[in-house]
């Protein structure tokens, strides 16, 4: 039975571990709010990985070559695996996968708003890999140092695959920019539509982020939303310029150099009305993405039942 005295003792031990960079493991005592924060963030991260398979999945049958089809298939399969790593990490917090999925289907859990935009043509597959996975990598490399052990280990595994995702997207954009005028126009149109939703992946400004102070206090996040967004912008603008793409922001300008000698850019602010509108369910594809997930989950029930029956039999 936990008493007030020993709760204070337990909190001191927890905080000492956080300070000493010792990972918090599932069987360790942790404050209820720390557990709740992780349940929310890790499950939403897992939902994002799985829902993120939809915009790209629509293009497997329309990939322009066997090589690009194989690459896209491998990437999408990776994303499904990332979702499974993250649901497994989330389950160590005492909530079942079924419950997480129910919360998602009931609209009680979020996933990255970027996936509520449509992938209109093959250039979008390039922009998604290059920009969306590029933003995800920036965030996830930092999350490898998160204080919760299972989440950190999942991030380390996932980051190993993410750089291939970003690379294959950039290669698609590069090839299109070396192609016909129409292909160049398609590539520019894709960055025009995906640049801002990719920046939104880092969340609201630190000053408007209700979760960031606890996340930083408990070392769940190791860098803030704005810091990570700036890192992504500073890294990605030179990549766009290298292949002749123009970032859709008239206010981009170099305002200095970082300690590595890389450019630091000033840029316009995000359209936060659009951000919250899409986060709150009013994006172009919110309904379609959720209905697809619900339908796939229902149609796949028999696979889960067979796997569970087999598991029960072999573990008798």
Binding site for ligand 3HC (CB under 6 A): 40-41, 44-45, 48-49, 52, 79, 82, 110, 112-113, 132-133, 136, 139, 200-204, 209-212, 215, 225, 279
Between 154 and 245, CB nearer to ligand 3HC? 154
Q: Cβ 139 to ligand 3HC, closest distance in Å? A: 5
Between 280 and 291, CB nearer to ligand 3HC? 280
Q: Do 237 and 247 touch, CB atoms closer than 8 A?
A: yes
Which of 169, 206, 157 lies closest to 75, judged by CA?
169
Between 54 and 212, CB nearer to ligand 3HC? 212
Q: Cβ 85 to ligand 3HC, closest distance in Å? A: 11
Helices assigned H by DSSP within the chain = 4-19, 32-51, 53-57, 66-91, 97-105, 122-127, 133-143, 149-177, 181-199, 212-217, 225-242, 272-277, 286-299, 301-314
Between 244 and 284, CB nearer to ligand 3HC? 284
Phi, psi (degrees; rounded to nearest 5) at 257: -125, 145
Q: Cβ 214 to ligand 3HC, closest distance in Å? A: 8
Q: Cβ 181 to ligand 3HC, closest distance in Å? A: 30
Q: Cβ 78 to ligand 3HC, closest distance in Å? A: 8
Q: Cβ 44 to ligand 3HC, closest distance in Å? A: 6
Q: Per residue, what are the HEC states of 144-189? A: CCCCEHHHHHHHHHHHHHHHHHHHHHHHHHHHHHCCCHHHHHHHHH
β partners of residue 253: 266
Between 145 and 246, CB nearer to ligand 3HC? 145
Q: Cβ 257 to ligand 3HC, closest distance in Å? A: 27
Q: Do 59 and 122 touch, CB atoms closer than 8 A?
A: yes
Between 45 and 289, CB nearer to ligand 3HC? 45
- Reduced to 3 states (helix: H, G, I; strand: E, B; else coil), residue 39 is helix
Between 210 and 250, CB nearer to ligand 3HC? 210
The length of the chain in residues reads 316
């Amino acid at each position: 039975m936990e008493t007030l005295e020993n709760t204070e003792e337990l909190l001191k031990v927890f905080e000492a571990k956080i300070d000493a960079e010792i990972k918090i493991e599932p069987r360790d005592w942790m404050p209820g709010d720390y557990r709740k924060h992780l349940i929310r963030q890790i499950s939403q991260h897992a939902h994002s990985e799985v829902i993120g398979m939809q915009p790209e999945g629509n293009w497997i049958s329309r990939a322009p070559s066997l090589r690009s089809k194989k690459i896209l298939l491998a990437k999408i399969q990776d994303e499904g695996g990332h979702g499974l790593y993250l649901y497994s990490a989330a389950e160590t917090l005492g909530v079942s996968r079924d419950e997480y999925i129910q919360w998602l289907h009931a609209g009680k859990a979020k996933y990255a708003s970027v996936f509520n935009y449509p992938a209109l043509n093959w250039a979008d597959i390039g922009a998604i890999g290059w920009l969306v996975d590029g933003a995800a990598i920036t965030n996830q490399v930092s999350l490898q140092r998160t204080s919760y052990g299972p989440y950190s280990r999942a991030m380390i595994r996932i980051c190993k695959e993410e750089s291939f995702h970003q690379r294959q997207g950039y290669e698609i954009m590069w090839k299109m920019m070396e192609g016909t005028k129409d292909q160049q126009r398609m590539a520019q149109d894709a960055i025009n539509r995906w640049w801002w939703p990719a920046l939104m992946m880092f969340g609201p400004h630190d000053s408007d982020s209700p979760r960031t102070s606890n996340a930083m206090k408990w070392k769940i996040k190791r860098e803030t939303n704005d810091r990570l967004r700036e890192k992504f912008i500073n890294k990605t603008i030179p990549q766009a310029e290298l292949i002749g793409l123009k970032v859709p922001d008239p206010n981009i300008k170099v305002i200095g150099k970082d300690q590595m000698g890389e450019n630091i850019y000033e840029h316009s602010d995000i359209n936060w009305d659009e951000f919250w509108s899409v986060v709150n369910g009013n994006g172009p594809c919110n309904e379609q993405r959720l209905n697809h997930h619900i339908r796939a989950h229902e149609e796949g029930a028999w696979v889960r039942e067979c796997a569970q029956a087999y598991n029960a039999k072999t573990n008798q």
